[in-house]
Chain A
Amino acid sequence: MNFEPYLEKAKNLNDAASYEILQSLQKEGLPTRKSEEWKYFSPSFLEKFENFELKNTTEWKKSESHLRAHISVNEKTYSGVQIAKTLTSQGRESKSSGFIRRFVSGLSFGTVSFVMDSETTDLDLNFSAEKAFQVLGAIEIQVPEKQKVRVHIKADEYFEELVSSVFFKLERGAELEVYAVEVNPTDGKSIQSLRVDLSEESEFRYVSVLAGASSKRNNLEVNLNGSQARCSLFALSISGKNEKLDNHFFINHNAPSCESRIVYKALVSGQAQVVYDGKVYVEKNAQKTDSDQIARGLILSDGAELDAKPSLEVFADDVSATHGAAIGQVDRDEVFYLMSRGLSEEEASKLLAFAFINEVISQIIDKELRENTKESIEKKFGKWIQEVAHVF
């Protein structure tokens, strides 16, 4: 891939940061499967993107406390610099889930700042294409002091290739809730990234339910930059057939007295391949850090694969941190316990399948969204869930 034209463009725009990134990209090229980070998911499809044009096509609609962003791109208008920025290295490469940092650094499709009277702002970020084709979108959002924002991130189910990136900056005491619920089976290939930087006393809550994506890379980076910032991440993957889902979560404790929690769950069946790579990094000055990370997976067929790699790197000495993974098949004792209370084998198995999923879904605070999510999982995967129940 030749980045020369974009180097030229960045130079003309006097964009030193982009220039630097593009330069290293020109030198190193796109990452390949040889790199540990890209072992399961090759970004080579990006080679096809040509004739990039830097153009802001984000459209914002605002009505009282509700804000909608439709980020759509026509066939031929891609932002080359943004792709470039997504793929270059910057910052503390070895420690972070490098790619995420590369992907999200310096994105600027549109910068939005919220100043609203209402207690909570709702924001829908919908990545879509006018035609069923490639979509590329990136956005940066700042949440001011003590404001609350609730965000729903969605991707159009008809895309072929999607690269999206969202970056939130939370000021002191700000609260952000992000819901990424996609239960539509899609054939497209996507790389979606979310980065959240937290100032002191701010809070970030993330709930994601990803089911039925045929090929997806899901990146999440959280930087706890101010003391007493908190984040909790709940994620559920449901994958079957030949689907590939590559999750990379990274939490960076850069300040003291912060809390982080990750609950990751996966149901993997068929020939699906799911990756969970969760890294929690605790800086030297991040004393009194409180961090928990758990990954649980159920493998439902011989051909299914789940690679879970929760990890923890601690450089501070006064820290409470745990991480763990539990992967396997369902315990017969659990089924027996429920049966001994009068539930039939089928009821017991369904309840356990539901319970496994519900540990994440129950974290959706909004009742309507929670019920809708349950319903759409039942609807789209009802048969499949029954199949799950049979395995118990």
Chain B
Amino acid sequence: MLDIQNLHVSVDGIPILKGLDFQAKEGEVHAIMGPNGSGKSTFAKVIAGHPEYKVTAGTVDYKKSNMKNIDMLGLAADERAKEGVFLAFQYPIEIPGVSNIDFLRTSFNSICRHQGVSEMNESEFRNFVSEKSKIVKFDSSFLDRAVNEGFSGGEKKKNEILQMAVLSPRLSFLDETDSGLDIDALRIVADGVNQLKNKQNAVIMVTHYQRLLDYIKPDYVHVLYKGRIVKTGGPELAKRLEEEGYDGIIAESEKVIQ
């Protein structure tokens, strides 16, 4: 579904990703781990199409089932969203003045229009969202409040996963969705993601901590270091990182690079 070759990305002229290769297929769950500053969030943002992250080299091909490849780099952020790409933000933005449900409906309908699916009116959509809210135990009174305004850290992250549930993307990046969550909220959010993953979509989690992977089981764990994926393995790799830290694996990989 996603095929990234030799991706180089700069922010404000500073190279962050330096030759990243990555592949993901339908039905897979990937975890991207790595020390601070290795480029994890940059990876998530560049795939979602943040305009300040400049791709200087490499290719990102995105394939929808039974359709030809799309060159993702040629699409603006909204066009990628319409093609089924989703990013759960590490720091969701507050938008005072716009109600959560209006925002969700605007977003949902613009994606429906693009995909040729019929849009929903206000009451249909409210029922639809109320149903989806159960997935992350999202208090429906928050639907009529301004987007993320005055939400706790946990509520903001639940709201991100609610958006994921409403938009049902094919490729989801979760950028440190576990950060700032207490153990109960982490369980609810992870349980929500588990309910949303299926054979047709792929989930890529960017995280610092092994504990998220106790709740959402990855098929693959990748270590990102200095803008490249230096090691890929199964869930056991995350366990090793938890016990040994990054040093050992980074030392191994640096030998390989040299």
Contact = CB atoms under 8 A, between A and B. Distances in A.
Contact of B97 (A337, A344, A357): A357
B92 A337 contact: yes
Given A341-B81, A342-B78, A342-B167, A336 B110 contact: no
B50 A336 contact: yes
B77 A351 contact: no
B204 to A, nearest CB: 15
B97 A358 contact: yes
A351 B106 contact: yes
Contact of A355 (B49, B96, B107): B96
Interface in B72-103: 76-78, 80-82, 86-87, 89, 92-93, 95-98, 103
Contacts of B97: 354-359, 362
Contacts of B247: none
B106 A343 contact: yes
B81 A340 contact: yes
A332 B51 contact: yes
A337 to B, nearest CB: 4
A342 B111 CA distance: 6
B211 interface: no
B114 interface: yes
Contacts of B51: 332, 336
Interface in A330-348: 331-334, 336-345, 347-348
A341 B165 CA distance: 12
B95 A343 contact: no
B49 A339 contact: yes
Contacts of A348: 78
Given A332-B51, A341-B167, A343-B107, A355 B81 contact: no
Given A352-B95, A354-B98, A355-B96, A340 B77 contact: yes
A342 B50 contact: no
A366 to B, nearest CB: 18
Nearest to A333: B93
Contacts of A337: 89, 92-93, 95
Contacts of B103: 338, 341, 351
B163 interface: yes
B95 A342 contact: no
Contacts of B96: 355, 359
Of the candidates A337, A343, A348, the one having the most CB atoms from chain B within 10 angstroms of its own CB is: A337
A277 to B, nearest CB: 23
A347 B48 contact: no
Contact of B78 (A343, A355, A358): A343
A343 B111 CA distance: 8
B52 interface: yes
Contacts of A334: 93, 95
A341 B163 contact: yes
Contacts of A332: 51-52
Interface in A307-345: 331-334, 336-345
A343 B98 CA distance: 14
Given A334-B93, A345-B76, A347-B110, A339 B81 contact: yes
A344 B114 CA distance: 12
Contacts of B86: 340
Given A337-B92, A339-B76, A355-B97, A347 B49 contact: no
B114 A342 contact: yes
A190 to B, nearest CB: 28
Interface string A348-372: 1001101111110010000000000
Contacts of A340: 48-49, 77-78, 80-81, 86-87, 89
A389 B103 CA distance: 17
A343 B51 CA distance: 14
Contacts of A342: 78, 81-82, 107-108, 110-111, 114, 167
Contacts of A336: 48-51, 77
Contacts of A359: 96-97, 146
A354 B95 CA distance: 11
Interface in A225-272: none
A80 to B, nearest CB: 45
A345 B95 contact: no
A342 B146 CA distance: 19
Contacts of B89: 337, 340
A336 B46 CA distance: 11
Contacts of B167: 341-342
B107 A341 contact: yes
B129 to A, nearest CB: 14
A251 to B, nearest CB: 22
B149 to A, nearest CB: 9
Identify the interface centre among B96, B108, B167: most chain A CB within 10 Å of its CB: B96
B252 to A, nearest CB: 35
Interface string A254-297: 00000000000000000000000000000000000000000000
Nearest to A355: B97
A352 B97 CA distance: 9
Interface in B47-62: 48-52
A345 B110 CA distance: 12
A358 B96 CA distance: 8
Nearest to B82: A342
Nearest to A362: B97
A336 B163 CA distance: 15
Contacts of A344: 76, 78, 110
A358 B98 contact: yes
Contacts of A354: 97-98
Closest 7 CB pairs of A and B: A355-B97, A339-B77, A359-B97, A341-B107, A342-B81, A358-B97, A337-B93
8 contacts: A336-B50, A338-B107, A340-B80, A340-B87, A342-B167, A351-B95, A354-B97, A354-B98
Given A342-B81, A342-B82, A351-B98, 11 more contacts: A334-B95, A336-B77, A339-B76, A340-B77, A340-B80, A343-B78, A344-B110, A347-B106, A351-B106, A352-B95, A355-B96
